[in-house]
Amino acid sequence: MSKKRVLITGGAGMLATDLSRAFNDCGYEVSAPSHAELDVVDGAAVDVALSTIKPSVTIHTAAMHVDPCEADPGAAQRVNAEGSRHVAESCDRRGSELVYISTCGLFGDKIRAYTETDEVVLKTEYAKSKYRGEELVRQVCERAFVVRPGWLFGGETGHQKNFVVQRFEEARQKEVLQSAGDKHGCPTYTGDLAASIIALLESGRYDTYHLVNAGQCTRAGYVQGIVDAFGLDTPVEDVDSSHFPRPADVPDCEILESEVLVQAGVDPMPHWTDAMNRYVRSIRGTLL
């Protein structure tokens, strides 16, 4: 019997790395082309990829990220919205289930936990483009899951955007770390997220899901969790996010919880501090 196949767009990314590992462990044949190998803006190329690979599942992780979207809203829509439409149309045409990876940054500044049915407040060009991608995916692909994750950590230690490794190196070099005490969210381990996505696929319940590790914290609390997991004693100072100016005015609150995950029979993910400890144990040998 031939293996089931999964196509993961954005294959060089942090989440894609752990998705590839998880699906391989489940017996899938994994294809994970990078942006250079598959540009989702090119609808014809997307359809050729799906017709060639013939995946039973497509995980769409490829995206233009937050600050570049703010600098070029048109490109944000082309990549995150229209690119997602291309993937969704091809999945629908070729009979592939689709998992669209969206964002937690859809709900504005009021500090509370947001569920799948809460009204969106789209502050950034990134959020606008990703939410438009959600709408297009729902419109054109019948067999689609929309997944909104939290603040992602995990992946290979050499990845240029590995937040945990970056903070670890800073903690070893600096006397004090500073991080925002006014931004709130749910750190989410890509390894746990990958396992939950596989469980969702097994449920067959196509819907929108908030998939985050349990617990919530500020950005400063997140950094403190990293420092603690490595057993370091570098203090972490809460400061206002204005100390870290950036093009995008990201929401003050990105805390998510799910009202529908239990209906799909998928267990909640462990607390983020447990996940952080597991991830750090898995990588510390390569760092120390």
Going from N- to C-terminal start, the domains of the chain cover 5-287
* 1 pLDDT above the threshold of 60: no
| Cβ partners under 8 Å of residue 147, min gap 6 | 99, 100, 101, 102, 193, 197, 200, 208, 209, 211
Beta bridge mates, 187 = 151
CA 109 to mean position of chain CA atoms: 20
Chain segment 26-59, per-residue pLDDT in tens:
999 999 999 999 999 999 999 999 999 999 999 9
CATH code matching the domain that covers 5-287, chosen among 1.10.357.140, 3.40.50.720, 1.10.1060.10, 3.30.559.10? 3.40.50.720
Write out the two tokens for 166.
């970056």
Q: Residue 161: pLDDT band by 50, 70, 90 thresholds? A: confident
CB under 8 A, 24+ apart: contacts of 43-47? 43/86, 43/89, 43/90, 46/86, 46/87, 46/90, 47/86, 47/89, 47/90, 47/93, 47/94
| pTM score over 0.85 | yes
Decide if 19 contacts 194 (C-beta within 8 A).
yes
The pair of three-digit structure tokens given for residue 29, joined into one six-digit string: 């044949």
How many percent of the chain have pLDDT more than 90? Answer: 96
List the alpha helices (DSSP H) in 54-118: 66-71, 73-76, 83-94
The pLDDT-based confidence of 159 (bands split at 50, 70, 90) is: confident
Q: 261: which 2 tokens? A: 């995950």
The span from the CA of 286 to the CA of 288, in Å, is: 6
| Residue owning tokens 């067999």 | 143
Is the Cβ–Cβ distance between 234 and 176 less than 8 Å?
yes
The Cα 118–Cα 137 span in angstroms is 19
Asked whether the beta carbons of 264 and 209 are under 8 A apart, the reply is yes
Q: What is the pLDDT of residues 144-156, one digit of tens each?
A: 999 999 999 999 9
Torsion sign over Cα 153, 159, 164, 167: negative
Instruction: Output the pLDDT for position 273.
Output: 99
Distance CA 167, CA 188 (A): 16
pLDDT at 160 over 90: no
What pLDDT score does 2 carry?
66
Q: Which helix (DSSP H) or strand (DSSP E) does residue 238 occupy?
A: strand 236-239
Per the structure block, which two tokens stand in for 46? 């997307």
**Model pLDDT, residue 241:** 96
> Percent of the chain at pLDDT above 70?
99
- Name residue, tokens 């979207």: 69
Write the CA distances from 155 to 193, 209, 253, integer angstroms: 12, 22, 24
For the segment 170-199, the average pLDDT, to the nearest whole number, is: 98
Q: 278 pLDDT band (50/70/90 cuts)?
A: very high
Residue type, 197: I
Q: Which residues pair with 23 in a beta bridge?
A: none
DSSP state string for 172-207: HH-S-EEEESS-EE-EEEHHHHHHHHHHHHHHT--S
Can you give the length of the chain in residues? 288
How far is residue 30's CA from residue 16's CA, in Å, rounded to a whole number? 11
